[in-house]
Structure 1
Amino acid sequence: MKVSEQRAVGASCPNSPQTAQKFLEGDRDSNRSVSSALRSGASADGSTGVIKLWADEKMSSEVSEEGKKADDAAADGRRTYSLTDYLKNTFRVKSYSLQWISADDAAADGRRTYSLTDYLKNTFRVKSYSLQWISDHEYLYRQENKILLFNAENGNSSVFLENTTFEAFGNSVSDYSVSPDGLFILLESNYVKQWRHSYTASYDIYDLNKRQLITEEKIPNNTQWITWSSKGHKLAYVWKNDIYVKIEPNLPSHRITWTGEENVIFNGITDWVYEEEIFSAYSALWWSPNSTFLAYAQFNDTNVPLIEYSFYSDESLQYPKTVKIPYPKAGTVNPTVKFFVVNIDTLISPTNSTSIQIAAPASVITGDHYLCGVTWATQERIALQWLRRIQNYSVLAICDYDKSNLGWNCSLAHEHTEMSTTGWVGRFRPAEPHFTSNGNSFYKIISNEEGYKHICHFRIDDRDCTFITEGAWEVIGIEALTGDYLYYISNEHKGRPGGRNLYKIQLNDNTKVECLSCELNPERCQYYSASFSKEAKYYQLRCSGPGLPLYTLHSIRNVKEQKVLEDNSALEKMLQDIQMPSKKLDFIILNETKFWYQMILPPHFDKFKKYPLLLEVYAGPCSQKADAIFRLNWATYLASTENIIVASFDGRGSGYQGDKIMHAINRRLGTFEVEDQIEAARQFSKMGFVDSKRIAIWGWSYGGYVTSMVLGSGSGVFKCGIAVAPVSRWDYYDSVYTERYMGLPTPEDNLDHYRNSTVMSRAENFKQVEYLLIHGTADDNVHFQQSAQISKALVDAGVDFQAMWYTDEDHGIASSTAHQHIYTHMSHFIKQCFSVP
């Protein structure tokens, strides 16, 4: 056997995803001794290596019995060790002589690398397990065009809906939803995407008892939103911007609103800016728990300016279409909002309904404001969150139904104000309240005095609250609330901001906290999310990394898994034949503050070699790029096949580490978050394994903005960069997002910084770098205007740069052909920049 082909006994190849894409805790692992490296098969730099062996024999010796007397030596027939033995080295001591195989010898690993084609064609698919809880112990799961019903209590399963039903639609059913009483199922087809969350579709109702579709009083095509009631089987839907309700699936619909108008009045659905920036959803309908009431919002965009762009469509179209969207930019006219509640039990005829308006609190209604949250506390108590246009002041108003006058009373004594003196309220908006069963108190995530997001307990008649969690870490979200416990996700474990674990805390003794996921599978799983059954008796844990994703079922009675739902074992076997990169998660200290980064390292990484480095950046407020999530993406290809290190860094402005870091860029976007990416690259180049002459940066959206600002800084650190769909000037972007962090672009507020934070003002410095600018022409979010202005400024400055546009593509550039083209084009650009063959 050739030396290069022989492996040490006990050494392991990186043939499992847990080993191959292992999670390194910084350089602390590089201090392992040779002996421990031999046992694990890992090289001293933290990568898995092949070990050359020169000897595999052991020399044995016999030891004479202790305590023998000198005059008994004759009894021992063995001879003594002589001078000749010493001089001739008769007895040779043999040793292990080893040599680590470096990246130059990676050919010894016969497996292929993860290719660009693997990424573009999604050769290796990560499986998930998406379930729908329909009770406290039952859930549905769609498998091969049939829907299965699982009982978590006894482990039994059955077919809930046969695949023949789906076949009747030509297998075009895109989604389904079962009524709370289990009598009907809503089948969605003809899905047509609009913006990020919005779409239109057709819907059919299937009677599960009769096992047939309902053909009477069908729901109209191109319905914009539809939802079952909380109890029973009522339906509310929006069509042509108006709201309709079905009491029974086979009876005529009741029309609730009559004012809907395209691009003007939106009833029960959000307009563009509310969908994108506030609710992150298309729906603006909220059923009460007993389904007696339906609450809805109405958005009025009458005075909102329109963004217009051409949509070229098929080449046979002689004149392009013009798309028009009400889109408020920073400092322009915003939509107005009204909130209503209708009593469904009082509907007399399909054309008769009465909606009761609930006005915003006096402290916000006098100026521009937003509705930013709706939560039903009880059957007849609702909580509304309102936010001033300058988003450092919000009010949670609790309103009760008054049977005597059939109206809603919002007592001033039940208002709860949340303010920020250092930035904005919440992460992106105020957090949702979670009410106790009687509706008299609630739990909410807010910033404590130290600026960390923690859970506070409010009583509705007391404006002060009591924190039940504390520490230099953050609660990410409240997952479930029962009579005895509250379940939440946080990043407390081991002080890693990029981790996520599920905890439960005892409500009558807040010192009793238990992590339910920390020790389940600590090497594979450090980033969890959860989905609880209706009354939180069971829950699904979704492990996203750093190993392969794992989905398990649990009971609140036992921390250990009750059932493995998906373990991606098929993918694990496939990846054994691939040279996968490793992932390093660590931190650097700048100005006495800990900032985290991650690196995707090439297979057979050798810390004594020099590698090109690509800095992948987002860096927007409350962002996080250094995390414990497993990904198969473009970075996997670049590291595996092209031997490029792909790094990301969370500097000032990033989230989940306290308001001091997150609010550092308040009212000054384009400053510290840009400077910190440059400094991170400098720090990486000092680590010894980064080629300082081959450092690049790339990003999308906000990341495209930061990429452009970095390249335009004239730092001399970066050789090249790619900006996809970048912001270039903040008053080109929408009002809700921009003003949250920048205030208003007026002389009285923050106009100077709006003017000083543009990419165009840095055009001259682009002569020092290679720049690729990319944008979709149908980007409804970050408009093509943003890149057009960068291009114009660079041309005016005489800068030679590359540009690529994608016709009729939106912000995601996600159509199959465009997706393949953009990543192929970017790959060529990066390889040319780094002189990679």
Structure 2
Amino acid sequence: YRHSYVRKFPKKIYDLKLQISLLFCVNPQAYVWEYNIYLKKNATAEAVQVTHNGKVNEIHNGVPDWVYEEEVFASNEAIWWSPQGKYLAYLQINDTGVHNIEYSLYGNDQYPTTVFIPYPKVSKHPSDFTISFSLMVVPKSVGSGDHYLRTVTWVTDERLAVQWLPRRQDSVLLQIYDYDGTNWKETSQKSKTGWVGRYFPAAPYFAANNMSFYKVMSNDKGYKHLHYVDAVSIIVLLLFLYSLFKYLYYVSNEHMGRPGQRNLYKISISTSGHLAPECLTCSLYQDRCQYNSAYFSLNASFFRMDCYGPGLPLFTLMDNRGPAKGLSLHLSKAFHVVYVSPDLWYQMMFPPNFDSSKKYPLLIQVYGGPASQNIDYVFRLEWATYLCSTEKVIIASFDGRGSGYQGDEIMHAIYGRLGTYEVEDQISAVRKFIEMGFIDKNRIGMWGWSYGGYVTSMVLGSGSGLLKCGIAVAPVAKWEYYDAVYTERYMHRPEENMESYKNSTVTDRAKNFKSVQYMLVHGTADDNVHFQQAAQIAKALVENQVDFEAMWYTDKDHGLSGKARYHLYTHLNHFLQNCFAEKK
């Protein structure tokens, strides 16, 4: 961490307002155009402009800005209709005080254009964050400091529920508010070990009394379960909610305790309590289907069983009074999942005609970000499948500390120290793979995209000597360069955690790249992980006289879509062929 960067941080991060408009319409419609909201009484009526101050990169009405869309709502919508369409709540964001990220869009003209996006990065001064609300009072427990709006849920046409997060995101407050101001209720939840929720707190699902609600939260042991919250108590139930008549339906990985599985469960509810859960998919097509979901008819008489693997995906219509006849095919598994330790899992894909007496090159696919999961039973056809089947490369993935679906203790192990345990565990996994006897220890590579590119770079820069090569696509170089909402959720602000910020940088490990083959890839128009990140890695490598390969994709964003995607995998394949070439 270097103080010279602090002066570039924004003076203000957000200014938010939640507005509630009263409508007298039948089947009303709303849309956003040029950051203003328009209403129509019906599909053929003339539109009425509701807001007039919308302006790109300054005032957003009804749509989030970049960081709210990416890190808070996971949606590009910020308007919420009441159940009968009587009221419309919408978010107004004022970004006039937010520092812009700028990058060139080259296009085909004589001069490139410059793109400006308000993008709040981690900030040193807590007073830089401001928020204001109209018609609703922000709870004092969060309103006294910097905070975020997380969810807006209409309970009835006159009752609204809003979730608030403090800037640290280690607690959440759910506020139930009646439009006439006569009824208030606040329910808070605080994490004991890290941030709240998986990435962020789950939305509430309200019961028939319009005041109690269901919500997925961590229990006392740190595992995500469905809770029922009423006026006086919180009752633990189970994971994920389909609240239909007398039953609860949920999807869980609890069967046999395997985090990579998903099955559908049913609980019968009565006034005296609930019965033990019944698994509806655990015994169906077990060789083929171990990762399942469901899509229900309106009255839950039928559901579509969605099987995603490990065999070919299968969709079967099921009668809720008994299973419907479905297509049953037996396919051999494309991979197997076994223990690395009592808590951590890995996954391997073997080439055709695999012979354990031979030595194979190994490529490790990594993501490793907080709450992520690489190890599951989902069937996929991807670049790794080609490498395994055609290039005869063993493909492995590993979920270490920091990963999700194994409880908060494992997930929160990297809280406040990104770039530590999730990196160390990947290195430990490589050693375990070598011990299996069929891995060529001189031909081991790793690759990842985004956070996976960051972990790959940190592993290569660790100086472990285990890897011959690595590929980092759109990696983070320093967390000071990334957005405030994501980074501070896991790392707090730099002034609170300066040593961890310093230890989490790729650039400080540049000298250790001399003994590995490194491929750095980035899009020049990446609005998420900015090209600045790759530029700083490249600069550090050059300053340390490290030879490396690099590929940039002009005017491409974080996804490197279109023809760039085809070019990317062809280019990476050539890089790996060189890395895994046997010495003669």
**Same fold? TM cut 0.5:** yes
Contact 1:581 1:636 in 2 (8 A): no
Q: In the TM superposition, what whole-angstrom CA distance separates every residue of 1:230-256 from its partner, at most 9, and x where no partner exists?
A: x96321101111111111211111222
Q: 5 Å matches for 1:112-127?
A: none
1:806 to 553, 565, 581: 553
Contact 1:581 1:640 in 2 (8 A): no
Residue 246 of structure 1 corresponds to which residue in structure 2? 40
TM-score (structure 1 length as normaliser): 0.64
Q: Structure 2 vs 1, CA of residues 481 and 581 (structure 1 numbering), >3 Å: closer, same or farther?
A: closer
Contact 1:386 1:395 in 2 (8 A): yes
Q: In the TM superposition, what whole-angstrom CA distance separates every residue of 1:404-448 from its partner, at most 9, and x where no partner exists?
A: xxxx4552xx21101012100000111111111221311111111
Q: Structure 2 vs 1, CA of residues 559 and 304 (structure 1 numbering), >3 Å: closer, same or farther?
A: farther
| Greater radius of gyration (CA) | 1
1:667 to 416, 425, 429: 416
Residue 388 of structure 2 corresponds to which residue in structure 1? 639
Residue 820 of structure 1 corresponds to which residue in structure 2? 566
Q: Structure 2 vs 1, CA of residues 529 and 357 (structure 1 numbering), >3 Å: closer, same or farther?
A: farther
Residue 324 of structure 1 corresponds to which residue in structure 2? 116
Letter in 2 for 1:468: L
Q: Give, in whole Å, the separation in 2 of the partners of 1:731 and 1:409.
A: 44
Q: Give, in whole Å, the separation in 2 of the partners of 1:673 and 1:441.
A: 39
Alignment pair present for 1:294 and 2:56 = no
Give, in angstroms, the shift of residue 530 of structure 1: 2.5
1:518 to 254, 267, 282: 282
Q: Structure 2 vs 1, CA of residues 613 and 385 (structure 1 numbering), >3 Å: closer, same or farther?
A: same
Give, in angstroms, the shift of residue 582 of structure 1: 2.6
Q: Give, in whole Å, the separation in 2 of the partners of 1:527 and 1:563.
A: 17
Listed as ranges, the gaps of 5+ residues in structure 1 are 1-228, 340-355, 403-407, 470-474
Q: Give, in whole Å, the separation in 2 of the partners of 1:338 and 1:510.
A: 43
Q: What is the root-mean-square deviation of aligned Cα atoms in Å?
A: 2.1
Q: In the TM superposition, what whole-angstrom CA distance separates every residue of 1:753-790 from its partner, at most 9, and x where no partner exists?
A: 11221001001100010100000000000000000000
Give, in angstroms, the shift of residue 337 of structure 1: 5.3
Contact 1:704 1:722 in 2 (8 A): yes
1:757 to 504, 524, 527: 504
Q: In the TM superposition, what whole-angstrom CA distance separates every residue of 1:571-605 from its partner, at most 9, and x where no partner exists?
A: x9xxx9xxx9931211111xxx4211111111111
Q: 5 Å matches for 1:466-505?
A: 466-469=235-238, 475=239, 477-478=240-241, 480-505=242-267
Give, in angstroms, the shift of residue 827 of structure 1: 0.4
SS in 1 for 2:343: strand
Contact 2:368 2:400 in 1 (8 A): yes
1:457 to 210, 215, 228: 228
Residue 773 of structure 1 corresponds to which residue in structure 2? 520
Letter in 1 for 2:267: I
Q: In the TM superposition, what whole-angstrom CA distance separates every residue of 1:93-124 from its partner, at most 9, and x where no partner exists?
A: xxxxxxxxxxxxxxxxxxxxxxxxxxxxxxxx
Residue 833 of structure 1 corresponds to which residue in structure 2? 579
Residue 19 of structure 2 corresponds to which residue in structure 1? none
Q: Give, in whole Å, the separation in 2 of the partners of 1:687 and 1:740.
A: 38
Residue 733 of structure 1 corresponds to which residue in structure 2? 482
Q: Give, in whole Å, the separation in 2 of the partners of 1:304 and 1:332.
A: 14
TM-score (structure 2 length as normaliser): 0.91
Letter in 2 for 1:625: N
Alignment pair present for 1:692 and 2:441 = yes
SS in 2 for 1:454: strand
Residue 377 of structure 1 corresponds to which residue in structure 2? 155
Q: Give, in whole Å, the separation in 2 of the partners of 1:531 and 1:279.
A: 23
Contact 2:131 2:146 in 1 (8 A): no
Letter in 2 for 1:280: A
Letter in 2 for 1:440: M
Alignment pair present for 1:608 and 2:357 = yes
Which is further off, 612-621 or 497-506? 497-506
2:366 to 608, 617, 620: 617
Alignment pair present for 1:358 and 2:145 = no
Alignment pair present for 1:627 and 2:366 = no
Q: Give, in whole Å, the separation in 2 of the partners of 1:628 and 1:335.
A: 42
Letter in 2 for 1:782: V
Contact 1:383 1:397 in 2 (8 A): yes
Contact 1:503 1:515 in 2 (8 A): yes
Q: 5 Å matches for 1:173-192?
A: none
Alignment pair present for 1:430 and 2:201 = yes
Give, in angstroms, the shift of residue 335 of structure 1: 6.9
SS in 1 for 2:274: coil
Residue 53 of structure 1 corresponds to which residue in structure 2? none
Letter in 2 for 1:284: A
Q: In the TM superposition, what whole-angstrom CA distance separates every residue of 1:47-83 from its partner, at most 9, and x where no partner exists?
A: xxxxxxxxxxxxxxxxxxxxxxxxxxxxxxxxxxxxx
Q: Give, in whole Å, the separation in 1 of the partners of 2:130 and 2:314.
A: 44
Q: Give, in whole Å, the separation in 1 of the partners of 2:26 and 2:285.
A: 40
Residue 264 of structure 1 corresponds to which residue in structure 2? 58
Q: In the TM superposition, what whole-angstrom CA distance separates every residue of 1:794-815 from its partner, at most 9, and x where no partner exists?
A: 0000001111100001001112
Q: Give, in whole Å, the separation in 2 of the partners of 1:434 and 1:561.
A: 30
Residue 12 of structure 2 corresponds to which residue in structure 1? none
Q: Give, in whole Å, the separation in 2 of the partners of 1:657 and 1:501.
A: 16
Number of aligned residue pairs: 556
SS in 2 for 1:561: coil
Contact 1:301 1:335 in 2 (8 A): no
Residue 324 of structure 2 corresponds to which residue in structure 1? 561
Letter in 1 for 2:237: I
Give, in angstroms, the shift of residue 534 of structure 1: 4.1
SS in 1 for 2:76: coil
Q: Give, in whole Å, the separation in 2 of the partners of 1:607 and 1:285.
A: 57
SS in 1 for 2:339: strand
Give, in angstroms, the shift of residue 558 of structure 1: 2.5
SS in 1 for 2:494: coil
SS in 2 for 1:604: coil
1:585 to 315, 324, 337: 337
Q: Give, in whole Å, the separation in 1 of the partners of 2:41 and 2:318.
A: 36
Letter in 2 for 1:544: Y
Residue 304 of structure 1 corresponds to which residue in structure 2? 98
SS in 2 for 1:456: strand
Q: Structure 2 vs 1, CA of residues 332 and 806 (structure 1 numbering), >3 Å: closer, same or farther?
A: farther
Q: Give, in whole Å, the separation in 2 of the partners of 1:395 and 1:449.
A: 18
Listed as ranges, the gaps of 5+ residues in structure 2 are 1-22
Contact 1:279 1:372 in 2 (8 A): yes
Give, in angstroms, the shift of residue 537 of structure 1: 4.2
Q: Give, in whole Å, the separation in 1 of the partners of 2:130 and 2:311.
A: 47
SS in 2 for 1:753: helix
SS in 2 for 1:313: coil
1:389 to 167, 176, 180: 167
Contact 1:299 1:337 in 2 (8 A): no
Residue 789 of structure 1 corresponds to which residue in structure 2? 536
Q: In the TM superposition, what whole-angstrom CA distance separates every residue of 1:725-757 from its partner, at most 9, and x where no partner exists?
A: 0001001000110000000011xx112211221
Contact 2:27 2:85 in 1 (8 A): no
SS in 2 for 1:363: helix
Give, in angstroms, the shift of residue 514 of structure 1: 1.0
Q: Give, in whole Å, the separation in 1 of the partners of 2:258 and 2:252.
A: 10
Q: Give, in whole Å, the separation in 1 of the partners of 2:547 and 2:199.
A: 38
Give, in angstroms, the shift of residue 336 of structure 1: 5.3
Contact 1:378 1:437 in 2 (8 A): no
Contact 1:286 1:294 in 2 (8 A): yes
Q: Give, in whole Å, the separation in 1 of the partners of 2:379 and 2:177.
A: 44
